[in-house]
Structure 1
Amino acid sequence: MAEQELTPVFQIQRMYLKDLSLEQPNSPQILREQQVQPQVDINLGVSAEPIAEGVFEVCVTATVTTKIQDKTLFLIEAKQAGIFEIRNLPQDQMQAIVGIACPGMVYPYLRAIVSDVCTRAGFPPVILSEVNFQAMFEAQQQQQAAQANGSGIITSAN
């Protein structure tokens, strides 16, 4: 039984849509104007929180803003989440799994939701591009290290 307790565990318990918002603040007037190619701005975020011993909620958030000149055509904010059971892994591997592997599993659901909401709102779908969550995770780690060094922690290069 002691061997079972040390066996690494990685399971998806649930995937779910945590939050979704669609705004078309300038409709219907903007829809009647001569249509030009809108400017599309996409911001992504990843967060992870422990919710029980060995259980984590990982959320991937997308904010898609489309504008024609200075008027917003539509704004979509979507947050897709997953609950993952992760146990008996070294701490350095835990961070990578929660920061890279889990968001990579959640993201395809988010992509489908954003595309579907655009279509249902009467617009061509916005297809979110593939994301390198490893590069995103490494950049976040570097930023946190830089903030730690900039917050009064002195490092010397002798």
Structure 2
Amino acid sequence: MADTPNGNAAGGPGETVAQGENPQQFAIQKVYLKDCSVETPGAPDVFTQAWKPEARVELNTRRTTLGEGLHEVVLTVTVTATAEEKPSYLCEVHQAGIFTVNGFEDNATDQLLGAYCPGVLFPYAREAISDLTGKAGFPPMTLSPVNFDALYARQRQQDAAGASESEAGAETTNQGSDSTG
């Protein structure tokens, strides 16, 4: 590696190692709160009762290509708390980030965008959920850690199983079409 004018060796994140090579590059460009909301349909009655809620947490991710090697990943976390089968609050956070991903094979890029990036965003979303629920007058909701690698692997398995079923269904349909024609 060659030294750069600031004394650092070239080849770190975001730097080109040598002309003509395709170095792997991953960088977090920006982390931001894209959207958030909290609704308290049970207020003010919910505050006059013993607080023993049941909470349901939903996680979703979405990604968009913004340009060559530039991607937006949005992690949506929705927490629904109910007490005595009545909604106490609904809190939703869309935590987003812009990431540079270059020089990786397609599978590695998919893994980074589908598992690693949501893992980077989750602590920010968790803090926003805690802040919003606390400001809504409830005990702050602290979400448990999430293994996004395992969720990503499970989603890939479900996608593969769905593709296999679709192909089998298409073959059955095609066979039925052939027999009637």
Query: TM-score, normalised to structure 1's length?
Result: 0.91
- Map 1:33-48 → 2, pairs under 5 A: 34-48=49-63
Q: Calculate percent identity across the aligned residue pairs.
A: 38
Q: Which residue of 2 aligns with 1:67?
A: 82
Q: Which residue of 2 aligns with 1:121?
A: 136
Q: CA RMSD in A?
A: 1.2
Shift in Å at residue 152 of structure 1?
A: 2.7
Tell me how far apart the structure 1 counterparts of residues 74 and 34 of structure 2 sit (CA, whole Å). 8
Q: Which residue of 2 aligns with 1:28?
A: 44
Shift in Å at residue 36 of structure 1?
A: 3.8
Please, which of 13, 16, 20 is the counterpart of residue 2 of structure 1? 20
Q: Which residue of 1 aligns with 2:27?
A: 11
Shift in Å at residue 79 of structure 1?
A: 0.8
1:57 pairs with 2:72? yes
Shift in Å at residue 144 of structure 1?
A: 0.6
Structure 2 residue runs of 5 or longer lacking an equivalent are 1-18, 170-181
The 4+ residue runs of structure 1 with deviation greater than 3 A are: none
Tell me how far apart the structure 2 counterparts of residues 36 and 12 of structure 1 sit (CA, whole Å). 39
Which amino acid in structure 1 is aligned with residue 55 of structure 2? V
Which amino acid in structure 2 is aligned with residue 7 of structure 1? P
Larger displacement relative to structure 2 (71-80 or 47-56): 47-56
Which amino acid in structure 1 is aligned with residue 44 of structure 2? P
- Map 1:53-132 → 2, pairs under 5 A: 53-132=68-147
Shift in Å at residue 53 of structure 1?
A: 1.3
Shift in Å at residue 74 of structure 1?
A: 0.7
Shift in Å at residue 30 of structure 1?
A: 2.3
Structure with greater strand percent: 1
Tell me how far apart the structure 2 counterparts of residues 76 and 117 of structure 1 sit (CA, whole Å). 7
Shift in Å at residue 110 of structure 1?
A: 0.4
Of structures 1 and 2, the one with the larger relative CO (CA 8 A, separation 6+) is: 1
